[in-house]
Every structure is written in C-alpha cells, then in structure tokens.
Amino acid sequence: MHLSQSKIKELELRANDMREELMEVLVEAGSGHSAGPLGMADIFSAFYFHILSHDPKNPEWEDRDRLVLSNGHICPIQYVSLANAGYFDKEELFTLRKIDSRLQGHPHRGSLPGIETTSGPLGSGLSQAIGIAVAAKLNQKRYRVYCLASDGEHNEGNWWEAVMLAAKMRINNLTVVVDRNNIQIDGYTEDVMPLESLRDKYEAFNWQVLEIDGHKIEAIVDAVNEAKATLEAPTVVIAHTIPGKGVSFMEGQYGWHGKPPKPEEAEEALKELRSLEGKIRGEHA
C-alpha cells in the first residue's frame, strides 16, 4: 500500500471535502456531533479510499475487510465516507436524523449498506470486532477487522474485558484505532477519568501499541501496514487527533462534542475549510 505524494494529497483533499460536506449535513439535520467527526476525517479518508478491501457495488462481499465503528456517535463522518465511496447517493446525506431516514443518529446494521454493526452503547464495539475476527479465522478467511473507537469509551469496564480476551487469543487480524482527542461529552478525558498512560495500559495487556498523528495520512497507512505484519498480537493504534479539526472555533473544545453548528457557524466553518483546501493543494507541490 505504497503512498505517492499525489495519493497523499488526494486523500488529504478528500478528507477536507468530507469535512465541508459534514458541516452542511449537520446544519441541515439541526442535531448531531461535530468535534469527533471533524477530527476523524483523515482516518476515514485513509480507510475508505486506500486501506480497506471493499466493494461499494457489492457491500456484502464475503471477503471484504470489516470496519466496526464502536464510537457510533461520530457516524456522520462514516455516512459521508460511504456516500463518497459510492454506497448510496450523496443526496441522502441530507436526511440525517430525520424521521424514516436510513441515516440514524447512531449506525444500525441492516438499515444502510456498508454498516457492519449496530453501535451506540459505548465500549461494546471491540467485543463485536473480536467476534468477527474470530469468525474469519474459523472460516479460514483472510479479511481483516478494524475497530474504530473513542478514548472516552475506555471508561467502560467491558472494553477492558475485550482487550484481555483479544490478547489471550492473539487475534492478529484485528486492529483497533483509538481516536485520542482528549475530550468527551462531560469535559476533558483526563478530568473525567484519567486514561494516561494509555500506551502503558495496552502494553500491560500484551498488545502491540503504535502512536501516530491521526491527521497524517502516511502515518495512518504505515501504522496499518505494521499491524498487518504483526503475527503474535492484536495491534492498537493510538491516533492523536484534534477534535473539531479544520474549524478554529471548534478545535479542542469539548462543548462541540455533541452539538451541530448553527447556520452562521456552519458558514464560517465552510469558509475556513475552503481556505484550507487551497493550502493542501500547494502543500506537496
């Protein structure tokens, strides 16, 4: 999965475009989460447009890689990614959180193509991902399982039960990507329930631990490649991100965890993101 400079720029621009669409969709919905989806846009761009082996025209392809979204509240950026990848028409994005919409406030398996699991209750995604990864091994399948998770959901006890199980079973076809953005709905993670040292915790549970800048496309891809080459343990990628990335008045602010922009705020956000697009286009020239 070598990355040329042109491919890096393509994925960065894709992430920025998806941030713009995200703002438009959230303001239309009048509800939903802003900070986490903005912060994870680069990771979703890397996965859906470079890393994953998948087929939008055949969503149930048996040998596809599985992406499990444990922190289901950031699903608007997954919906935007799926629409851009061709799983459904982009116009449907504007039905987010509306009555009878397939785009629910938390993803629901069976409602929308490309959604692997139903999520909402935090801390349960890893257990689901382990089940899928074990099934792959039992069926002698080579697809990989990726579980995207928030740092705040590490407050849940069932998360750590799953961490222990994955290490015990040496589930090496599983990679967890933790959105280490340091916020949750009630405040900053280290104030609500301190997580550090998160690396030490995972290493104590016998996981391979990689730490990256979650906004660097090359770092994301390199980490996944390293995980794929690891045979003796599951891998966790601690991706350090900025919540609200790309929108200055949202960046690092936990108050934006669970609310959408107002129309005037969305317009300001879009101005910033469109300006950023020009900078990206010249960044690797």
- Is a pLDDT exceeding 50 seen at residue 285? no
Residue 2 in this model has a pLDDT that exceeds 90: no
The string of DSSP letters for the chain reads: ----HHHHHHHHHHHHHHHHHHHHHHHHHT-S--HHHHHTHHHHHHIIIII----TTSTT-TT--EEEESSGGGHHHHHHHHHHHTSS-GGGGGGTTSTT-SS-SS--TTTSTT--S---STT-HHHHHHHHHHHHHHTT----EEEEEESGGGGSHHHHHHHHHHHHTT-TTEEEEEEE-SEETTEEHHHHS---SHHHHHHHTT-EEEEEETT-HHHHHHHHHHHHT--SS-EEEEEE--TTTT-TTTTT-GGGTT-PPPHHHHHHHHHHHHHHHHHHHHHT-
Kindly state the average pLDDT of the residues 209-216.
98
pTM of the entire structure?
A: 0.96
Whether the pLDDT of residue 281 is over 60: the answer is yes
Please report, for the chain, the start and end positions of each structural domain, with discontinuous segments joined by +: 5-283
Contact 48, 148 (CB under 8 A): no
pLDDT mean over 94-122: 95
* Domain made up of 5-283: CATH architecture: 3-Layer(aba) Sandwich (3.40)
Pairing of strands 66-69, 187-188: unpaired
CA distance 75 to 149: 11
Tens of pLDDT, residue by residue over 231-257, are 999 999 999 999 999 999 999 999 999
| Structure confidence by residue, pLDDT tens digits, 250-277 | 999 999 999 999 999 999 999 999 999 8
pLDDT-derived band at 159 (thresholds 50, 70, 90) equals: very high
pLDDT digits (tens, 9 = 90+) for 27-49: 999 999 999 999 999 999 999 99
Query: What was the pLDDT predicted at 26?
Result: 98
